[in-house]
Chains A and B, each alone.
Chain A
Amino acid sequence: MQHPELSALPRRRALVDRATRLLVGMGGAGVIVAIALIFFYLLWVVLPIFLPASVTPQIGGETPDFEAPVYLDTDDGGNVGMVIQADGRVRFLALEDDLEVLTPEQSLNRPVIAITADAGGGNLYALLDTSGDVLFFRVNYRVSFDETRRQITPSITYPFEESPVTLGEFKDFEFHRDGSELLIGVLAEGSVRLLEFTDVEDGFPLEAATPGRIGALSGIDHLILGPSSRWLYLLGNDGRLELYDIRKPRRPKHVHSQRLLSGEGQVDAFAPLLGRYSLLVGQQNIVTQWSLIRDEGGYRFQDIRQFDFPAPVRLLRPEQRRKGFVAIDTAETAHFAFATSGRITTEAQLPAGTQVLGISPRAHHLLASAPDGELATFTIDNRHPDIGWRTLLGKVWYEGYAEPIFSWQSSSAGNDFEAKFSLVPLIFGTLKAALYAMLVATPLAILGAMYTAFFMAPAMRRIVKPGIEVMAALPTVVLGFLAGLWLAPLIEANLAALLCVLFLVPLGLLLLAWLWRYLPDRITRPCQGWYALLAIGPIVALFWLAFQLGGPLERVLFDGSLRDWMLNELGIAYDQRNALIVGIAMGMAVVPTIFSIAEDAIYGVPRNLINGSLALGATPWQTLTRVVLLTASPGLFSAVMIGFGRAVGETMIVLMATGNTPIMDWNIFQGMRTFAANIAVEMPEAEVGSSHFRILFLTALLLFLLTFVVNSVAEFVRQRLRARYGSL
């Protein structure tokens, strides 16, 4: 026992004492841990966005041997790899499980020249055999659970029976099935045929197609079906591109022709990006992303981004679910790039002469094979290539847009949608909402604090101060509800009246103050310190008057409606739920915070300073503005800071009082979307672990850091001030 005085105690008392010390210590540590936990947990979720990607070669127990693979793919989850060989054998291997080859293998029962997958995604393949016929097949992966583990059984089916479609002589072909419609585009020398099969149904052979034709073509080498069979792109090796509208496949319409290469040269590699709104075109070391856009001149391709690789690119392959792609250069290096972010995240060394490439749907696995049958498999850890500082904070040129923009648009119905994760509109909205709220709250709170602390009668102050502070306890959902459902329609209907309020109330009060001096002393003297109470009546009256004047004013000055007038004359649009409403409602929420701290600061100014100033002949007003405010200014500063911190993070008011559209416009009559509201709206829908999810966490972390820093500075300033008051 270290403490001699404790050793004299009965054991039980000493034990209780020590246990208490331990418990309390743990409680103290708990607080520190809790604070650290919030910060580090948020960081831990956010961090993977910024971690580098990696590709790891998979080393199987026994490298399987394949004969001339022509096609590589995997199942949806990336558990089973599929290798189709030139002899028609289809072999499957367990990617997660030592690359063991699954038995029994399947067969397509005919030699294969090439396999083409559906242009719009979907689990349909076309087999091209040596006789030039095309046979459609499907690969199914049946998942079953036996006693111990998940079992995946692959099988091959022929949805249109084993009846092939004869294409005749051709150079290139693609197909897309959309519900009951199947479209095959066939490029032959000098012409294109579009075969449209309608009423296609699984289990029934294809009926005769009605062909459409584009003739008199030259210099075209590749055919690409555009998004949902609406567009047809024809590409020549010299970079020439012809754009056709094929909504009516029997009568294709030429829309535009242009060249997708700058300067001399050849197309060395090309690939459509997911969704097929963009074409990637490789020329030497450069891959250019051309996106289909629409401007005054109609539809055309626009080069929106370039990727620079260390060696000439010879093969491009898009990812199946994201706007990413793999580029293989002449040094046999596979580079993993992402369109939206323009990032090249990682690379892998492939076997020499790799011709066939398979990327699993979720881009967790890469299969590569050279003609001699050597198969290399890789696991990819490339989870957030779509995010970078540039996409978060810079302007990004998205597919289909005429120029780079800031945009937040995190999800949409389609799965080939390009998510737009620019934080700029959200930062803008957050600051806009906070700014307008501060514009309302700061003058009200600071002026109010000045009066309450310096002029108000003590009897009144005892009620007013807690009264206003109780307002801080009002649930913000109440303020938001009133703002959205009561204030917003009220202001929309009485915009001119509000304008009147701005002028009428201050001017009217000044007038009343002027008249006040002509009242006899015996009335005014006892009222010193009760001005705030006296002012309430006139304020109500002036508000009433302003609302009475609003209508006639609109009639006389603004043709009956200020709103229409603003739209027609000034081009200012009016949203019912806008920054003004948020400013007023959130201002009300922030007033008590600022008021309380500012009032404390002013009230705490040592008495001797004030008395000294008054004794030197300064009026009370002069004393307040020149001595008291100056001394208390750090306190006022910290009050405003803390108020700002609260306004930045407020959720419910913004959620309910604005339209929550992420636009960037300082117009006070337009809405905005703030960080906090954005989290509240999107968090419940975000897929756990996705880029979207992590970005939402990033915004939460930013809010946390911002308010923590702002409050810390304010608190620090306040403590210094308290020490100074102590010394005065």
Chain B
Amino acid sequence: MATRKTSGLRSWLRSGEPWVWMNAAAVGTSILAVIGLVGLIAWNGLAHFWPHAIVQLETGTADNPVILLGELVDTDTTERLQYEEATGDGALPEAQTTVTRVLLKTGNRRTAPPDFRWVYDHRINRISQPVDAIVIERTEWGNAYGFLESVRDGDRTVTGVKAQEALARAIDFAEELRENIRDLQQAELQRVNAGIEALRLEDRRIALSDRSPTDKQSAHADVAQRRAALEATYATLERELREHINRFQGHEITLRRADGETEVIPLANIVRTWQPNAMSLAGKLGHYLSSVWLFLSEDPREANTEGGIFPALFGTVMMVLLMSLLVTPFGVIAAIYLREYAHQGAFVRLIRIAVNNLAGVPSIVYGVFGLGFFVYFVGAGIDQLLFPEALPAPTFGTPGLLWASLTLALLTVPVVVVSTEEGLTRIPRSVREGSLALGATKAETLFRVILPMASPAILTGVILAVARAAGEVAPLMLVGVVKLAPTLPVDGLFPFLHLDRKFMHLGFHIYDVGFQSPNVEAARPLVYATTLLLLTIILLLNLTAILLRNRLEQRYRGVEG
């Protein structure tokens, strides 16, 4: 500035220059926070899928060596004092003020717990990366680390070099078998089960109806007959299923752990295996992509701490789709009313403020309202009217997909209204008047002229609403989200879309796995990956909305001029 350099500290302070710097620092900190946050999540989330090298650590004393095998997950540094207090070890070199340790994920949770171990750097005698170390991803008990000893498929046992090939064959075999089992369970058995349940309800309905006793008796008999047929099918299917499962018998692999012991892992429990230390970069990339795909397409395992997040992703998308179907017409019509039809007076201004404020009402309040009004009031009413045979088990009188979508639709109405109104305001009066002057009715002006012009604004609003709904968790916890839904809200059984079902949600998944699961340490990478996915979806949606809005602005610049 003008007074710069002419005098000392006091005039510098008076010039305000230091405060400008402070202000700039506030912006800088905010930007850093955004970048840091996204970066942190991206780094942790993306790293989760990489096939990390397996290291072998040799620690312990000469006559009692301890050999550990696993992935390095974390390192940290402790003050010497705290280290000495915690371990009672007084043998550190005089000059050393801090102690570094590494966290090793050693897996083998069932047979050689714990699955995570801290090892102090100075106690490690030797580090190596054995080429033939193998990771086995299992359906239960987490990963196993070790060396492949032998593979038994059926009655033959393969050891040595051939074991590798046998393993690949065995995995293919397991995959195929599992596919069969899943088909049988999900498609056939589920259908028969649903049929039996439907018959039970029909039976109840007959009992509740006001038909004559003899009439009822014959109806009951008919139901019983059909049930017997279904139960017979069920028994056959169950037998078939057991046969499939039995085919796994005799298929297992033997793993030699780092401590020299061997353990047998049944093939039925193995998802896949890999040898990261022997992988080329291309191999690692391939593994990475397949990991990402498994993450997106698989069901969760082990209380959601492993496996994929497909049901959560699917549930989120379904809920958001339903919600936008509900919120779009309602929000757009409301905005058209406020801007085009209502008399612009104090009342409309009041409503506009109220709508704006609705956006500021805490989301949990909507959750409470949704639970009370939709679930306990409307839902219970629907049950009384339409599903009396299922009572006291509620059909719609319990949290579910429909109520969650409705609640979030209500929550996001202001977003759509405000955005649509903004779009409508931007349309110059002259356009409307021109249309009316040409003899169009108000409705025709609306449908042929105004709505097409406002459509990008409407779309922006809907996208923003979707982005908001996708990230909202608090109200969903009350109106329909569960940690583990046995079935998807859409399946092959009539009526295909099950509005009454509970569903899983990415945001709730993060909360649940990160905070409610028994093994947070093991679940953490997965939570980061889920968070990254949610964040990506929401940021993409927001970016789309911003770009759309910018294009909109450009378009009207022409009209106004």
Contact A680 B478 (CB under 8 A): yes
Residues on A lying within 8 angstroms of B by beta carbon are 6, 9, 13-14, 16-17, 19-21, 23-28, 30-32, 34-35, 37-38, 41-42, 45, 443-445, 447-448, 450-452, 455-456, 464, 466-468, 470-471, 473-482, 484-486, 493, 505-506, 509-510, 512-514, 516-518, 531-536, 539-540, 551-552, 554-555, 559-561, 588, 591, 595, 619-622, 624-625, 642, 645-646, 648-652, 655-656, 676, 679-680, 683-684, 688, 696-697, 700, 703-704, 707-708, 710-712, 715-716, 719
**How far is it, in angstroms, between the C-alpha of A574 and the C-alpha of B281 when the chains are bound?**
46
Contact B413 A535 (CB under 8 A): no
B366, B376, B471: residue with the most chain A Cβ atoms closer than 10 Å: B471
Sample of 16 more A-B contacts, CB < 8 Å, known A32-B354, A470-B543, A683-B478: A27-B334, A38-B361, A41-B372, A42-B368, A447-B27, A455-B20, A473-B471, A474-B535, A481-B510, A514-B9, A535-B28, A620-B1, A696-B368, A697-B368, A703-B361, A715-B353
Instruction: Determine which of A21, A484, A703 lies in contact with B514 in the assembled complex, contact meaning CB atoms within 8 Å.
Output: A484
**How far is it, in angstroms, between the C-alpha of A700 and the C-alpha of B367 when the chains are bound?**
9
Contact A684 B20 (CB under 8 A): no
Contact A470 B34 (CB under 8 A): yes
**Chain A nearest CB: distance from B113 CB in Å?**
22
Residues 1-35 of B at the A interface (beta carbon under 8 Å): 1-5, 9, 12, 15-34
Decide if B351 is an interface residue (CB 8 Å cutoff).
yes
Write out the residue numbers on chain A whose beta carbons fall within 8 Å of the beta carbon of B464: 473
Contact A451 B24 (CB under 8 A): yes
| A-binding segment of B60-68, B165-173, B336-344, B484-492 | B336-344
Given A13-B441, A646-B360, A513 and B34 touching (CB < 8 A)? no
Write out the residue numbers on chain B whose beta carbons fall within 8 Å of the beta carbon of A535: 21, 24-25, 27-28
Closest to B530 in A: A481
Write out the residue numbers on chain A whose beta carbons fall within 8 Å of the beta carbon of B77: 551
Decide if B120 is an interface residue (CB 8 Å cutoff).
no
Decide if B542 is an interface residue (CB 8 Å cutoff).
yes
Contact A482 B37 (CB under 8 A): yes
Q: Could you name 28 residue pairs across A and B whose Cβ atoms are closer than 8 Å? A: A17-B441, A27-B334, A31-B330, A31-B355, A32-B351, A35-B355, A42-B372, A451-B23, A456-B27, A473-B464, A477-B534, A481-B511, A482-B40, A485-B524, A486-B40, A506-B22, A513-B21, A539-B29, A551-B77, A552-B97, A555-B97, A560-B82, A619-B16, A651-B364, A680-B367, A697-B372, A703-B361, A703-B365
Contact A642 B32 (CB under 8 A): no
Write out the residue numbers on chain B whose beta carbons fall within 8 Å of the beta carbon of A20: 442-443, 446-447
Contact B357 A700 (CB under 8 A): no
Write out the residue numbers on chain A whose beta carbons fall within 8 Å of the beta carbon of B546: 466, 470
Contact A24 B333 (CB under 8 A): yes
Closest to A684 in B: B478
Decide if B106 is an interface residue (CB 8 Å cutoff).
no
**Category for how many chain B residues contact A:** 35 or more
Residues 467-526 of B at the A interface (beta carbon under 8 Å): 467-468, 470-474, 477-478, 507-508, 510-511, 514-515, 520, 524
**Chain B nearest CB: distance from A688 CB in Å?**
6
Instruction: Determine which of B17, B41, B542 lies in contact with A478 in the assembled complex, contact meaning CB atoms within 8 Å.
Output: B41
Contact B16 A447 (CB under 8 A): no
Write out the residue numbers on chain A whose beta carbons fall within 8 Å of the beta carbon of B410: 34, 38
**How far is it, in angstroms, between the C-alpha of A52 and the C-alpha of B97 when the chains are bound?**
70
Contact B336 A648 (CB under 8 A): no
Contact B367 A712 (CB under 8 A): no
**Chain A nearest CB: distance from B281 CB in Å?**
30
Contact A536 B28 (CB under 8 A): yes
Given A30-B334, A481-B514, A517 and B357 touching (CB < 8 A)? no
**How far is it, in angstroms, between the C-alpha of A707 and the C-alpha of B360 when the chains are bound?**
7
**How far is it, in angstroms, between the C-alpha of A16 and the C-alpha of B447 when the chains are bound?**
11
Contact B330 A30 (CB under 8 A): yes
Task: Specify the main secondary structure of chain A where it touches its partner.
Answer: helix
Interface 1/0 per residue, B517-554 and A, CB below 8 Å: 00010001001000100110011001100100000000
Write out the residue numbers on chain B whose beta carbons fall within 8 Å of the beta carbon of A684: 477-478
Write out the residue numbers on chain A whose beta carbons fall within 8 Å of the beta carbon of B33: 471, 588, 591
Contact A513 B17 (CB under 8 A): yes
Given A471-B34, A622-B16, A680-B478, A642 and B26 touching (CB < 8 A)? no
Contact B542 A621 (CB under 8 A): no
Closest to A552 in B: B97
Closest to A622 in B: B16
**Chain B nearest CB: distance from A191 CB in Å?**
53
Write out the residue numbers on chain B whose beta carbons fall within 8 Å of the beta carbon of A700: 364-365, 368-369
Closest to A26 in B: B333
Contact B514 A31 (CB under 8 A): no
Contact A551 B341 (CB under 8 A): no
Given A560-B79, A625-B16, A21 and B372 touching (CB < 8 A)? no
Instruction: Determine which of A16, A28, A456, A648 lies in contact with B441 in the assembled complex, contact meaning CB atoms within 8 Å.
Output: A16
Write out the residue numbers on chain A whose beta carbons fall within 8 Å of the beta carbon of B18: 510, 513-514
**How far is it, in angstroms, between the C-alpha of A41 and the C-alpha of B474 when the chains are bound?**
20
For the complex of A and B, list the 8 residue pairs with the smallest distance between their C-beta atoms, beginning with the closest. Answer: A649-B362, A621-B16, A475-B471, A27-B333, A28-B337, A531-B24, A451-B23, A651-B474
Contact A475 B472 (CB under 8 A): yes
**Chain A nearest CB: distance from B314 CB in Å?**
18
**How far is it, in angstroms, between the C-alpha of A620 and the C-alpha of B514 when the chains are bound?**
49
Instruction: Determine which of A21, A477, A518, A711 lies in contact with B471 in the assembled complex, contact meaning CB atoms within 8 Å.
Output: A477
Decide if B419 is an interface residue (CB 8 Å cutoff).
no
Write out the residue numbers on chain A whose beta carbons fall within 8 Å of the beta carbon of B235: none
Task: Specify the main secondary structure of chain B where it touches its partner.
Answer: helix
Instruction: Determine which of A19, A479, A509 lies in contact with B22 in the assembled complex, contact meaning CB atoms within 8 Å.
Output: A509
Contact A533 B26 (CB under 8 A): no
Closest to A516 in B: B21
B28, B37, B470, B510: residue with the most chain A Cβ atoms closer than 10 Å: B28
Instruction: Determine which of B5, B98, B444, B542 lies in contact with A473 in the assembled complex, contact meaning CB atoms within 8 Å.
Output: B542
Contact A473 B478 (CB under 8 A): no
Write out the residue numbers on chain A whose beta carbons fall within 8 Å of the beta carbon of B1: 619-620
Contact B535 A475 (CB under 8 A): yes
Given A28-B342, A621-B15, A477 and B511 touching (CB < 8 A)? yes
Write out the residue numbers on chain B whose beta carbons fall within 8 Å of the beta carbon of A35: 354-355, 358
**Chain A nearest CB: distance from B131 CB in Å?**
34
Contact A703 B24 (CB under 8 A): no
Contact A679 B368 (CB under 8 A): yes
Given A16-B443, A712-B353, A447 and B26 touching (CB < 8 A)? yes
Contact B29 A561 (CB under 8 A): no
Decide if B356 is an interface residue (CB 8 Å cutoff).
yes
**How far is it, in angstroms, between the C-alpha of A455 and the C-alpha of B26 when the chains are bound?**
13
Decide if B81 is an interface residue (CB 8 Å cutoff).
yes
Write out the residue numbers on chain B whose beta carbons fall within 8 Å of the beta carbon of A648: 362
Contact A532 B28 (CB under 8 A): yes
Write out the residue numbers on chain A whose beta carbons fall within 8 Å of the beta carbon of B542: 470, 473
Closest to A560 in B: B81
Write out the residue numbers on chain A whose beta carbons fall within 8 Å of the beta carbon of B3: 619
Write out the residue numbers on chain A whose beta carbons fall within 8 Å of the beta carbon of B367: 679-680, 683
**How far is it, in angstroms, between the C-alpha of A49 and the C-alpha of B508 when the chains are bound?**
32
Write out the residue numbers on chain A whose beta carbons fall within 8 Å of the beta carbon of B341: 21, 24-25, 28
**How far is it, in angstroms, between the C-alpha of A447 and the C-alpha of B26 when the chains are bound?**
6
Contact B79 A41 (CB under 8 A): no
Instruction: Determine which of A444, A622, A624 lies in contact with B26 in the assembled complex, contact meaning CB atoms within 8 Å.
Output: A444
Write out the residue numbers on chain A whose beta carbons fall within 8 Å of the beta carbon of B535: 474-475, 478
**How far is it, in angstroms, between the C-alpha of A213 and the C-alpha of B543 when the chains are bound?**
82
Instruction: Determine which of B336, B442, B515 lies in contact with A17 in the assembled complex, contact meaning CB atoms within 8 Å.
Output: B442
Write out the residue numbers on chain B whose beta carbons fall within 8 Å of the beta carbon of A650: 362
Decide if B363 is an interface residue (CB 8 Å cutoff).
yes
Write out the residue numbers on chain A whose beta carbons fall within 8 Å of the beta carbon of B21: 509-510, 512-513, 516, 531, 535
Given A30-B330, A35-B358, A478-B41, A470 and B26 touching (CB < 8 A)? no
Instruction: Determine which of B356, B373, B444, B524 lies in contact with A13 in the assembled complex, contact meaning CB atoms within 8 Å.
Output: B444
Write out the residue numbers on chain B whose beta carbons fall within 8 Å of the beta carbon of A620: 1, 16, 20
Instruction: Determine which of B29, B361, B441 lies in contact with A6 in the assembled complex, contact meaning CB atoms within 8 Å.
Output: B441
Closest to A485 in B: B514
